[in-house]
């Protein structure tokens, strides 16, 4: 489970997304045995539902009710007030800042004030993609990932069929399924001069 790179420890110049850095090989990627919804998220939701957790799907979190000490409820987009024993805000720093700003007493707390600086450089967008092949693609060895280190987009690619359980359906007439991530979204590509965030499918 070590990364392969296209050249030994290539150097990346500083750009709008990050300072200069060395792209070396690393170990320790964690992999699921199938698609994340079916093998993790769906099981998690089922377990929490069985434990009595209520879900409010498809509605925005607008703000919190805060009594100066404790969050007492959450106000969601449907207008409903959600009261719980425990409130966990698990979202991006950008969304968190917006939600906290709608609850000024909460936004003034010392720890909550730390969210603002996290958003100073703007979002770091990562774009995922999938490539399906009608025939099995042979990799240099089993369970390896590839980092395309000389790509402007800093792409990573992994063949899911190497890690997923044999019973997982890759799709109609798909023998190899590569998933990838473009980790740098704002650098223009050398072929069309487009950043990933402006590319079409």
List pLDDT tens digits, range 11-22: 777 876 567 877
Q: Is the pTM of this model over 0.75?
A: no
Neighbours of 113 (CB within 10 A): 11
Long-range contacts (CB closer than 8 Å, 24 or more residues apart) made by 116-125:
118/93, 119/93, 119/94, 123/92, 123/94, 124/17, 124/185, 125/185, 125/186, 125/196, 125/197
Report yes or no on 176 lying in a domain. yes
Tell me, yes or no, whether 186 and 140 share the same domain.
Answer: yes
Taking residues 114-122, what's their average pLDDT?
83
Q: N- to C-terminal Cα distance for the chain?
A: 29
Final residue belonging to a domain, choices 118, 151, 168? 118
Q: How large is the average pLDDT for residues 128-143? A: 85
Confidence (pLDDT) at 31: 67
CA atoms of 102 and 115, how far apart (whole Å): 14
Is residue 183, in this structure, part of any structural domain at all?
A: yes
What is the residue range of 114's domain?
A: 60-118
Distance, CA of 112 to CA of 178 (rounded, Å): 39
Largest CA distance in the chain: 61
Give 20-78 pLDDT, tens digit per residue: 877 665 544 556 778 888 888 999 999 999 998 888 888 889 999 999 889 999 999 88
**Residue of 141 and 105 predicted with greater confidence:** 105
Please tell me whether residues 108 and 147 are part of one structural domain. no
Phi–psi pair at 160, nearest 5 degrees: -65, -35
Tell me which residue of 57, 46, 101 sits closest to 80, measured CA to CA: 57
Q: Do 111 and 130 fall into the same domain?
A: no
Number of independent structural domains in the chain: 2
The predicted pLDDT at position 150 comes to: 84
Residue 193 pLDDT exceeds 80: yes
| Confidence band, pLDDT 50/70/90 cuts, at residue 173 | very high
- How confident is the prediction for the chain on average, in pLDDT? 83
Q: What are phi and psi of 73, to 5 degrees?
A: -165, 165
Do residues 158 and 99 both lie within one domain?
A: no
Residue 161 and residue 100 share a domain: no
Please name every residue paired with 4 in a beta bridge, in sequence order, or none if there are none. Answer: 146
4 in a domain, yes or no? no
């Amino acid at each position: 489970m070590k990364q392969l790179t296209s050249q030994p420890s290539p150097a990346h110049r500083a750009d709008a997304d990050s300072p200069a850095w060395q792209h070396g090989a690393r170990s320790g990627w964690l992999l699921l045995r199938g698609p994340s919804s079916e093998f993790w998220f769906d099981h998690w939701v089922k377990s929490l539902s069985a434990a009595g957790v209520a879900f409010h799907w498809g509605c925005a979190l607008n703000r919190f009710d805060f009594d100066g000490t404790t969050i007492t409820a959450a106000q969601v987009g449907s207008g409903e007030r959600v009261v719980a024993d425990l409130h966990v805000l698990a979202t991006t720093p950008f969304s968190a800042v917006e939600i906290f700003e709608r609850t000024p007493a909460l936004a003034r707390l010392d720890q909550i004030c730390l969210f603002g600086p996290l958003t100073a450089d703007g979002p770091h967008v990562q774009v995922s993609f999938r490539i399906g092949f009608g025939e099995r693609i042979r990799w240099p060895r089993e369970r390896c990932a590839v980092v395309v280190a000389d790509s402007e987009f800093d792409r990573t690619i992994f063949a899911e069929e190497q890690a997923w359980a044999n019973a997982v359906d890759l799709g109609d007439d798909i023998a190899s399924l590569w998933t990838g991530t473009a980790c740098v979204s704002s650098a223009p590509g050398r072929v069309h001069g487009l950043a990933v965030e402006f590319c079409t499918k």
